[in-house]
Every structure is written in C-alpha cells, then in structure tokens.
A and B are shown apart, each in its own frame.
Chain A
Amino acid sequence: MDLILTAIAEMAQPFRMLMLITGVFAGLVVGVVPGIGGLFAMALLIPMTYNMDPYAAFALLLGMGSVTTTSDTIPAILFGVPGSVGAAATVLDGHAMAKKGEAARAFGASYSASMIGGVFGALVLAAAIPVMRPLVLYLRTPDFFAICAFGLSIVAILAGSQPLKGLAAAMLGMLASFIGIDSIAGIERWSYGQIYLWDGLPISLVFLGLFGLPELASLLMRGSIQGSAERPTYAGMWQGIRDTLREWPLVLRCSAIGSLLGAVPGIGIAVLDWIAYGHASRRPGSGPKFGQGNVRGVIAPESANNAKEGGSLIPTIAFGVPGSASMSILLGAFVIHGLVPGPEMLGKNAAITVSMVLSIAVANIVGAVTCLVLTRPLARIAQVSAAILVPMVVTFIVVGAYQTNMSAFDFMLVMLVGAVGMAMKELNWPRSAFSLGFVLGPSLENYFFLAYQISGWAWLKQPLVLTLLGLAAAGVIRQTVSWIKARGNAGALPPALPDIVAGSAVTLLGLAALVTALLDFPFEAAIFPAITAGFLVLFSLLTTIQTVLRWRRPAPAAGADMMPVGEWQPSDGPALKGNLTVLGLCLALAVLVLLAGHLAATFVFVAGGIWMLGSRSPKVALAVAAGTTLFVYAVFDILASQPWPTPWLASLWRVL
C-alpha cells in the first residue's frame, strides 16, 4: 500500500503529469496516421528522455505507447484503413458500421472498450508484480510454439462461408511471411538477391495494402462513407458506450486474452486482435452478422489490443525479454535510466514499476476521453464526399508506405499487396486468415526449431503443450463438423469465372513455391515452406474444383435472401473500375513522390485528385491540398523527423 501511495505521490508532480499527457497526445497522432507505428515513435522519443528522471521518462514513453491502439481505430472505422496493425480486425465490423451511419456508435464502443481493456491490462500487470518471475520462468520454449499453433487454429473460425478459401488464404499468408533470410540456415528464401526482401515483407506495408486500399474502391463507388444523410449525434456515441457496458463479460474476456497473450513474445497486437475477434464471433449475439457491422466485432479486438501494453511489460520488467517489438525499444530506456530488469524492478525500484502501471491506466483513460470528445466532428467525416477523402487517404497510405524503407519497392509492394487484397475482397478469400498466417508463420517456425534443437521431440509430451495443441485441434474439428453440416447453404457466392482464375493462379503459385523450396533450400529451411505450400496447393485446388463444379451446374436462381455473409463484402457496382482507379491514384502519387518529393507531391496530388474525382470548387481542392500537405509536413518531417531521399527532379536540378 505504501508503495502505491509513493508511486501516486511521485506521479502527481506537474512535470511528470505533463510528460504523460504529452505522450498521450503524441500517441494519439501516431495511432491515427497509417504508416507510422508506435515502434518508430518510441525510438524517436527515447533520446528526449535522456535528461528526465525515470518517472517522467516512462510516463512519456508509456503514455505514447498505450494509446496508439485507441486512436488507430479512427481511420479503421472511417476508411477501413487500419491506423496500426492492431486495428485490422476492427476494420471488418467497425467500417461496416460507419457505412450504415453508425460511425459514432462504433467510436463510442471502441473507445470505451479500449479504455476498459487498457486499465484491465494495467491491473494485470500490477497483480503480476509479485509472481512475475516464476510466471515467466514457468513457460518454456515449446509452450510458445503451442500458443502460436493455438493462435493459428483461430483461422478455422475466421475462414467464413467458404472454409477452404480461408485455409488457403492462411497458408498463402504464411508462405508470404517466409520470404527473406531465414533464421535457421541463414539462407535467402524467395528474395532472389533483392536486399529489400532480406528482412521479409514489412508487416506495416502488408497490412496497409491488404486492408487499406481495397476499401477505398468501395468508398469511391458509394460517394461517401455513410449512405444516409442522417447527421451524427452524441446519442450514437452513448449507445456505443452502453453497448460496451452491456457486453462487459466479453470486454473482460478479451482484455484477459490481450493482456495474457501480450506477455508472450511473438504474439503481438496483429495476432491477438484476431484471436479476440474470432472468440467474439463464436457468439454473435443479436444484431447483424459478424463482418456486417456487429458491435461485438469492434468491442472484442479493441479491448484486447489496449490490454496488451500492460501484459507485454511483464516479461520486459521481470527479465528484460521484450514482450513485443515496442518493448524492445522501451528496454533501451531502462538502460538509460539505470534500471536493470529483474528482481530490482520488484524490490528496490518497485515504485517505478507501480508508476508504470499508473501511467498505462491514466494514459488509457485520458486517451479514450480525448477521442470521445472528438467523436462528433470525426463522425461527420462519414458524410464528406469521397472525392475529397480518397485522395487524402491515398496520400497517407502511400507516403506512410514510402517512409518504411524510403525505397521505390515500398510503393510497388503496397500496390501489389493492395491488388491481392482487392481480389481477395471481391472473391471471398478472407483477408483476416491471410494476415493471421502472415504474422504467425515466422514465430511458429522459429519456436518449432528452437524446441526441436533443445529437446528433439520430447517436448510434445509437456502438459501445457498437450493442452494447448489439444484445444487447437478440438476447435478445428468442431468447426469442420459445422462446415459439413452447413454444406450447400453457403449463401451468395462470388462470380465463378474470376474465382476459377484466382484459384488456379494460387494453386500454380503454391506449386511453384513447393518445387523451389524443395529444390533450392537446405532441409531445415525448406520444411516449413514446403509443408505450407503443399497445404496451399491442396486447399486452393479443392476450392477451384468446387467452383468449377458450381459453374458447370448452375445453381437455382439467387433469391433475395442470398446475401453475402461474414467478412465477404464485394463492392457494389463496377468493382474492377473502382479498384483500378485506386491503384492508378497510388501509382500517380508514387511517381510524383519520386519526382518531386513527398510534400510537393502531396499538394499536387490531393488538389489534382479532388478536382479529377469531381469536386466542383477549385478553392476547396486547393484548401484541402494545402491542409493535407501541412499535416504531412507536421507528422513526417517535424514529429517524426527523418531524412527523405532527394527527389529525381531536385537531383536533376543539381546536375544542371
């Protein structure tokens, strides 16, 4: 008790509170802008803490790190563009709610769930303080493998109305995650000498392309985010908050998922938001189906990903083992402030540990309240014309993508993944399954080989491993049984011909991957990719055959009840045209950025894009362009100050 009072007294000092609030506001901005994650922001903030005392330093850093997952839902709900990798699951139902004119309700639900989740995570951290070290020591390497395998089994729940496609998508995601230099044999896998690919496909780019770009085509078609002309009010927001309170058992369960799995290295927000989403989708409750604007699909991932911050501090404080990528950067701050992770943090420096708990809790509350206050103006964006929104959002996606590696490959990759995402969206290949496979692939492989090198096959007999693998198997079997039962009434299905083309292409890709893996890679590096590619071929071949059969034997005419189900939401109208327009816009901006630099490019592109997409007033176009350029400058040059490559035109200028 004394400890808590000491910590409160220390934190109550004005400068420390100021740092906490500064951190929260920085974190909110970082979360909103797709492309810069909390990771990068934390690395930038650490040198600023050199001259602070540890309380102020951690208040700033944790304040920032805690709330990026609160504000990253703003672009996810409004535009379907996840502000960080942790908001991808929120896109599915949150964006669907915004389309129906329920943006304010989705915001209310997500912020309140974030707040409760975040405070819950802080409490878990507090409760773990006395038992932290034995807890972390109890988990062994094979257990981590089993946890990841259990996480992957969630794919079965996310697989949707055409389960074979879901499984194939997960395999495709895993396969994509193996690109780059492998950590066991140290050889190149499918990177063919391209240094860009050595570290694998950058996860932030993959998520931006997969979830961000495809939604923009639909937005373009519809004309605005929300169809109806109903004005958003605070009433919607309060309804969202009431939703969260009504669903309190779900909030607590998902917070527990977030905080406990957050403590496991290798399970980051990109995984646990899907696990929480999958968990919630088992019992959809009243209201629309999952994927069509069910508020539970917003509450679950949001409470989980905010609860994570507290959980991932557990191994960091107890052993200096980062529970997540941003924690490995936070460890740098420990060293700077003379703190040694381990017993000291629970003894001599326990007051600092408690202050971290307080920082996370207060940051989550301040962050959520700030977002709630901003809800009404934000929800109004749902009525703004797509002609204005699309160029702005494309700018943030493309410039955000470019600052990942500052390479032209960044553009190519985000557009390529975007195109894949568009095809998956139109043809009912669940992107959720792909992303789960993509994130878990490397952890599964790595933990498997560690466990195998340490104890051969004996680890398979460990009780926790058996329990977790058993649970995973049971989940998959249960789901398979329900698929078999539901066979034949899958609801509406995508057009057969393009689907056959896509299925065959994926099958061929899988075959090529299988052959190259077996021929080119040494055994240890080949086994996981080869097995994954084998399953990919199997699943995609089966689904292609299914589609061919369906095509040859026309089904009875689709009735009015043949609504698309689950995650599948094909665009209304000429989807191909819309998607090509979005990709064309990306390409135009990419070329502009390379030629003229990101600021001049932003101005020209936004002004030109708004005018081209049909806004009547040139004044509006120029004003929005100027505003966007200023914002890009503020975020990418001042907040995240970094050197940008010399644009081609400027280097030409110099030569002349």
Chain B
Amino acid sequence: MSLIFGRLHALFIAIGLAFAVCPPAQAVELQTITIKVGYGAGGGFDQTSRLIARHLGRFLPGNPSIVVQNVPGGGSLKLTKMLMGSEPADGSVIASISEAMFYAPILDPENATFDPLALQWLGSLVNDPAYCLTSKQSGIDTMEKFLQSDFLIGATGKNSTTYIFAALAKNGMKARYKIVTGFEGTADIELAMQRGEIAGMCGVSSALLRADRAAINIIGMFGQRGSVPRLTDGIVDPTARQAADLIESALHIHHPLVAPPGVSKETLGVLRKAYSDMVVDPDFLTDAAKLGDLTLNPTSGEAISQLVAQQLKATPAVFAAARELVK
C-alpha cells in the first residue's frame, strides 16, 4: 500500500506532463452535426430523428455526417433548456423537441423558464389532428354520452398529449369523466381499454385509429373539423376558445426540429433549406413510409415561426385560461 501512496504524487506530476503534450481530443467539427432528441431511445421522436439523420446530410454543403443523441428528461423540457444555454450555436447541434415546448413557458411557468420566441424552428414532419376515442364495450359512443357520463379516460404523464387533450375536453366542456394518469404509453392505455378497466383515451393520432377500427368509437377530434365533431367547438367563452386554439395549434407542427437561439441567420437559412429539400426527396419519403404510423405532412421552419409568434401574441387572460384548461 505504501508503494501506492508513494507514487500518488508522482502520478499527478505525470498527469500534468501528459496534458502538456497530449493534443486536444475530438473537437466537435462542423463536418458532423448532432441531432439531440429530447426523449429516450425507441420512441416516435427518436425514430423520426434517426430517419432524418440518415438523409439530412445529403442536402447540406459538404455532406456532413449526422449522429443522434438521446437527452431524455421532462418530456424534452430538459433539452429545450439546454438549447437555450449550453449548446454550441454554430449549427453543429440541432434538436428534436416536443412541439408543445413553444407554450410550455405559459402552461408551466415555474419549470419552463425560457423565451419561447427564441427557438429557431427548422421545420416539422407531421400536421395531423388528434382524437378522443372509446372502446366499443364501454358503451360511450356519442358526444353526448361522452360529456354526460361518469367513466375513466387513461393518460400517461401530466405533461403528455394524452393528458393535455383529455383535460382540455373535460375542462372546456365541463365533462364528467375522470382522467387516470400513470400509464406507461398509449399501448398500455389501449390494453387497459381492452380489459375494460378504462373507457377511452384522448390526444391520439390518426395512426392509432387505423390499428383497431372495429373495436373503438371515435368521439371527436382536436385541431380541425372533419368526419367527426371538433371537441372544442362546444366551448362558448371566447377567451377559453382562444386558449383552446393555442393548445391545439401544436398539432400542426408535430415532430419539429429546432436550432439554438444563437445560430446565425445564414446557418439557419442553410439548415431550413436542407430540411425543405429533404422532405420532398423520394429516397427520404421511401424511408419515411417504413415508419408505418407516420403520415408525412411537413411544415417549413418559417411557417412554424409565424404560427408560434401569432399564437404567443395572445393576452395574459388567454394564457391564464389555457392554464386552467389543462389543469
């Protein structure tokens, strides 16, 4: 043992020497771009990011290689906050975060302490309504029954779309159902519906409807009107209507990519152009088609920035109403 301690200080001298001679290891070069994903490996955001990583490089000058890194935490709030502060703003890091991040500072001012207008959007892949659905065996098959009966709606976490849209319909239309939180994912909620433990779920995309059409009732939709009634049409109070519209607007910009606030106009322009070129590329579309439950309907970065700026112009009363709606 004494040998060990005898050589300890010698080691530290050696370390010092080593630093003097060792070259700086692996500086992040712009020939590599990292897409950071605000969710864990395997989920929808991770899959679309890895899809984009395979293609985006072809449309950028110098054809950089693109790697994906998962930075899960707080439904991508962690990554969004990192983007605001510590990430390099030279275009070498872009991020895949939840579209709901643009109103996170409004719904959750305590945790989401950042300026949503500072996010620089590159584009989004999906523009798709969300639905409320119930199982056939629940007997809840009309909007009227949905609003008037006592039953259970399943959701994952409090910050998830499954909770936010269930709460939006419940609070906006004074519905009587209860929201059960804590499911692991939408597949778990569906399974609980099949077991008859709960009646339905909200905030689900059209892809889920295709899976098991025979066993479910589609009650209504969010984001637009279509074959079924829009669930927020029954909200009468104009402030609450506007608040609901704010929450629903995120549906138009699902699976977005953003760049940190400091990225220069030129770099942003290059990235946005590459994104727009990529989403119409046949090879990209063939690959995207393999992600079965993804209906591609891209929005450009410029359009997202406009939409976000427009929505965030609302009055504080609207923001307060939005907080009440998703409580």
Which A residues contact B (CB, under 8 angstroms)? Answer: 39-40, 42-43, 46-47, 50, 136-137, 140-141, 181, 183-186, 195, 198-199, 220, 265, 315, 319-322, 328-329, 331-332, 335-338, 340-342, 405-406, 446, 449-450, 453-455, 574, 577-578, 581, 584, 588, 592, 595-600, 604, 608-609, 611-614, 641-644, 646-647, 649-651, 653-654
Contacts and interface: CB of A to CB of B under 8 A. Distances in A.
Ranked 3 nearest A-B pairs via Cβ = A597-B25, A43-B41, A650-B24
Interface of B: 1, 3-4, 7-8, 10-12, 14-15, 18-19, 22-28, 32, 34, 41-43, 46-47, 50-51, 53-54, 67, 69-74, 77-78, 81-82, 152, 156-159, 178, 180-185, 187-188, 190-192, 194-195, 197-198, 211-212, 287, 290-293
Contact of A647 (B8, B24, B180): B24
23 contacts: A43-B46, A50-B287, A137-B191, A137-B195, A181-B74, A185-B158, A199-B78, A321-B185, A321-B187, A329-B41, A335-B292, A336-B290, A340-B292, A454-B152, A454-B192, A577-B1, A588-B15, A596-B25, A600-B25, A612-B8, A643-B28, A647-B24, A649-B19
A598 B22 CA distance: 12
A321 B189 CA distance: 9
A656 to B, nearest CB: 10
Given A183-B157, A195-B74, A650-B26, 7 more contacts: A47-B53, A183-B158, A198-B73, A198-B78, A454-B198, A595-B19, A654-B24
B3 A614 contact: yes
Contact of A611 (B7, B26, B53): B7
Contact of B26 (A46, A597, A613, A614): A597
B22 A604 contact: yes
A449 B25 contact: no
B11 A612 contact: yes
Given A39-B41, A335-B292, A199 B72 contact: yes
Contacts of B67: 641-643
A283 B200 CA distance: 48
A598 B198 CA distance: 50
Given A47-B50, A183-B182, A321-B191, A198 B74 contact: yes
B94 to A, nearest CB: 12
B55 to A, nearest CB: 11
A365 B119 CA distance: 51
Contacts of A595: 19
A450 to B, nearest CB: 5
Nearest to A335: B292
B281 to A, nearest CB: 15
Contacts of A265: 184, 188
Contacts of B26: 597, 599, 644, 646-647, 650
Contacts of B178: 453
A446 B182 CA distance: 6
Given A198-B73, A644-B26, A649-B19, A331 B11 contact: no
Given A321-B188, A454-B180, A643-B32, A604 B15 contact: yes
Contact of A329 (B42, B53, B81): B42
Contacts of A136: 191
A453 B152 contact: yes
A338 B292 contact: yes
A186 B157 contact: yes
Contacts of A613: 3-4, 7
Contact of A599 (B25, B70, B82, B290): B25
A608 B187 contact: no
B28 A614 contact: no
B182 A608 contact: no
A335 B293 contact: yes
B187 A46 contact: no
B110 to A, nearest CB: 10
A211 B42 CA distance: 28
A198 B38 CA distance: 13
Contacts of A597: 24-26
A140 B198 CA distance: 11
B42 A328 contact: yes
Contacts of A611: 7, 11, 14
A592 B15 contact: yes
Contacts of B8: 584, 612
Nearest to A449: B182
A195 B14 CA distance: 36
Contacts of A405: 71
A46 B50 contact: yes
Nearest to B189: A321
A34 to B, nearest CB: 18
A120 B3 CA distance: 51
A199 B40 CA distance: 11
Contacts of B1: 574, 577-578
A279 B19 CA distance: 52
Contact of B24 (A40, A331, A609, A653): A653
A577 B1 CA distance: 8
B22 to A, nearest CB: 5
B98 to A, nearest CB: 14
A650 B25 contact: yes
A43 B182 contact: no
A337 B287 CA distance: 11
A47 B47 CA distance: 8
B39 to A, nearest CB: 11
